[in-house]
Structure 1
């Protein structure tokens, strides 16, 4: 088995880029009040091993009972944990299967490969179905749902696989970018979302991606599975700083800051898209403060990214997402956009020389 390459945006062996378009973090951040909470966290003590107050706060925030809150060290940690759990539901005679989005975060596939899940092209036949909405790298709606998801209503729990345990054909909706939605509408209703696992990692929306902390809202009726996934986690899966971030996430002033930042990001995004289009780039539509774009014909995207990196500007080559020739760009403030434009002009001039 050949391991998949782990390719991510953000800092690399060259350090932190001055202008980092390769990350999907909220460029308005960090959220001041959450940063203050993280900095004030008491790192001299263990957190409460049961995370009683945190579970209660997240449950109130989402309007669910505390048992539905499954804490995780990060979204990536939960991706690997639930994949391992699904694997454990199978037998040698019936290996477990997974359905992945066509273009998606690499850890879904990494976890599936590590635990030996077989890939399926259609979601209805898979034991584990990954969805991400808005998606990465495209920032668009997810389109390939199992048929039962669309039939789920508040009064039709019996139509959903979650009504019988152990679970089969479970769906995990990665909602990492839902708080950063700038447009569009969710594909699933509230009733339909109650039938799937909803994975949240607020550090992106808060501009604090270095703090690793995540949680999942389990489906209604999946109490046994939620308990099993809790049991698979190590003790103190979250440290003091992760607890502080998630607790602050539930506060009204944090949500007000986030709401205000979205308006700023809309303006920055429009400016960034127009600037790239003026340079001959093709930009795909997205509902998020990140999008995919293709440089003008004749410009090699991989070579361009390498050249820009030497100038302190980093873009995310989208080849690993299954989009060769494209890059993903997070939306940054006007100063960074101007630096990108200048670097692109320099790179283009060098290519013509």
Structure 2
């Protein structure tokens, strides 16, 4: 990837649909890792009541106070952004050094590398492998950190696209290793709440994280708010202040803030819907395996499906009204990523796949 190349993403591509003569509203999106049972009704009510005339609160004070209560920290440790994507780029803008090293634990979200390259960093990957169950070998990773002294280390845990997680204690150990070389560990926790069987949605990393650990969270995944763009980071107050200096004023609009507050106030939503997400995932995985497909699923409800050519399978499914995520941009060209949706939609995908196998 070059510094100015576009990063591949999931979701329905309206320009692609137009070129193919496909109506986007006729396509079911299995490429986006969202809660298919959201957003909460309270969010729709909050948006309906919103007055769009006033400027938004540029400090996101109420939302930061609510998030601080959730994570057991002070509001000055939280920066709210226009999606986690904005925060990834703000982190790189603030902390990158030209010609320093950015270490990416891959496969991973492409914006980590992209944001680092934009600031003239050298990219080094430590890749997990399918034959090892995409497991992140902490010993190997620790040795790499000691050897290359990265300024920024990017870790997605639980991982997108593999779903494999890393123990909180290991994350803290890695952060301390990064500190020894004056580096920062950025851990993307966007999918933390989706892990199966969580009895407490609070993050274990809330307790005693090292000061050079920066944690990224998204409210768009588990609450299905992707169209509003809403994420936040948690870090040491000095790091938050430094990153915040580069954030444009009014970056987070009033609709996103209102939706975030409404979603967080609805404490029954995630406990009610996450078991439904996992039930849908179980059924979808079973249906795909019955077609003779090789399926990989770990700690998250989305899954990888092995095929001879991921891009070709994606296109053929799109022509049947279903879009999945071609994983070539993750360095996995023989896989596609599939996120579960509601049962009747999952059945539609199974029927479409029957037509192409």
Indicate whether the TM-score tops 0.5: yes
Structure 1 residue 42 displacement after superposition: 2.1
Does residue 180 (structure 1) correspond to residue 205 (structure 2)? The answer is no
Which TM-score applies when normalising by structure 2?
Answer: 0.83
**Structure 2 CA distance for partners of 1:61 and 1:168, relative to 1, 3 Å:** same
User: Any conservation in 1 of the 2:178–2:185 contact (CA below 8 Å)?
Assistant: no
What is the CA–CA distance in structure 1 between the aligned matches of 2:35 and 2:90, rounded to whole Å?
A: 27
Which residue of the partner structure matches residue 123 of structure 1? 145
Which residue of the partner structure matches residue 259 of structure 1? 271
User: Any conservation in 2 of the 1:10–1:20 contact (CA below 8 Å)?
Assistant: yes
Which TM-score applies when normalising by structure 1?
Answer: 0.84
The 5 Å alignment of 1:15-164 reads 15-16=24-25, 18-87=27-96, 90=97, 95-121=99-125, 122-124=144-146, 125-142=149-166, 149-150=172-173
1:284-340 CA-partner distances (Å, limit 9, x unpaired): 122112111113xxx533222111101111111111111111010001122112211
Structure 1 residue 276 displacement after superposition: 0.6
Structure 1 residue 16 displacement after superposition: 4.7
Aligned residue for 1:206, secondary structure, equals: coil
Aligned residue for 1:255, secondary structure, equals: coil
Which residue of the partner structure matches residue 259 of structure 2? 245
Which residue of the partner structure matches residue 139 of structure 2? none
Which residue of the partner structure matches residue 351 of structure 1? none
CA RMSD of aligned residues (A): 2.7
Gaps of 5+ in 2: 18-23, 126-143
**Structure 2 CA distance for partners of 1:2 and 1:223, relative to 1, 3 Å:** closer
Which residue of the partner structure matches residue 203 of structure 1? 220
Aligned residue for 1:286, secondary structure, equals: coil
User: Any conservation in 1 of the 2:3–2:117 contact (CA below 8 Å)?
Assistant: no
Aligned residue for 1:203, secondary structure, equals: coil
Q: How many residues align?
A: 325
1:289 paired residue among 298, 301, 311: 301
Gaps of 5+ in 1: 153-158, 349-353
Which residue of the partner structure matches residue 156 of structure 1? none
Which residue of the partner structure matches residue 10 of structure 2? 9
1:234 paired residue among 248, 255, 260: 248
User: Any conservation in 1 of the 2:34–2:223 contact (CA below 8 Å)?
Assistant: yes
**Structure 2 CA distance for partners of 1:135 and 1:192, relative to 1, 3 Å:** farther
What is the CA–CA distance in structure 1 between the aligned matches of 2:299 and 2:333, rounded to whole Å?
A: 21
